[in-house]
Chain A
Amino acid sequence: AQKVTQAQTEISVVEKEDVTLDCVYETRDTTYYLFWYKQPPSGELVFLIRRNSFDEQNEISGRYSWNFQKSTSSFNFTITASQVVDSAVYFCALSEARLVVFGKGTKLTVNP
């Protein structure tokens, strides 16, 4: 069975700080996909990134970056120079066979 663990339930930072959200996953398959979603207070999940298991290159998109390490089964998400608008719940998710399993989410609060 696949599993996604987001050990950080809540994180609070001050604006402009860097913050890393951890995601550890379990799977027996060699082919799988990893995702990150953002859920702002409005409730809608916003897709951020999809990464397949064969691509371990780190990715950067503006202030967002992702570190995928198969050796430790981790797919961590870093926000550089955080802003108040980054306040949200962030979900990591894993798909290995058509369906997606979500972690319980990390609530990030960025204070001005």
Chain B
Amino acid sequence: DGGITQSPKYLFRKEGQNVTLSCEQNLNHDAMYWYRQDPGQGLRLIYYSQIVNDFQKGDIAEGYSVSREKKESFPLTVTSAQKNPTAFYLCASSIGMTSGGTDTQYFGPGTRLTVL
């Protein structure tokens, strides 16, 4: 089945540690995205990538880093510089990013990160 996978589903981290969240898609989509969701809030864009080896900062990129070495994969690293990393993280992908408005984004199941 085609889709987006994220692992792990739950992640616990000690303060001061970096942690990497995995996102893989087999939809052959060019664009991929990372969002952060806090309780009672909408989704906020962390990073996005339109194509392999290229990515752009979103609204809340500070304390996060990404890479896009393969079309299928877009891992997100939450660094120790992120002051409040406890949140639900969602990865998404879309066919592309057109100038007239983005294609539909499809989401993975999410990773819930808790900092102890």
Interface, chain A (partner B; CB < 8 A): 4, 9, 31-33, 35, 37, 42-47, 50, 52, 91, 95-100, 102-105
Contacts and interface: CB of A to CB of B under 8 A. Distances in A.
Contacts, number: 60
B101 A47 contact: no
Given A43-B109, A44-B110, A95 B42 contact: no
Main secondary structure of the interface of B (DSSP, over half): loop
B64 interface: no
A67 to B, nearest CB: 20
Interface residues of B, number: 24
Contacts of B41: 104-105
Contacts of B102: 33, 95, 98-100
Contact of A47 (B48, B90, B97, B104): B104
Interface in B73-105: 88, 90, 92, 97-102, 104-105
Interface of B: 40-43, 45, 48, 58, 88, 90, 92, 97-102, 104-110, 112
Contacts of B107: 37, 44-47
B58 to A, nearest CB: 8
A91 B101 contact: no
Contacts of A52: 101
18 contacts: A37-B107, A43-B112, A44-B108, A46-B107, A47-B106, A47-B107, A95-B101, A95-B102, A97-B99, A97-B101, A98-B97, A98-B99, A98-B102, A100-B102, A100-B105, A102-B42, A104-B42, A105-B40
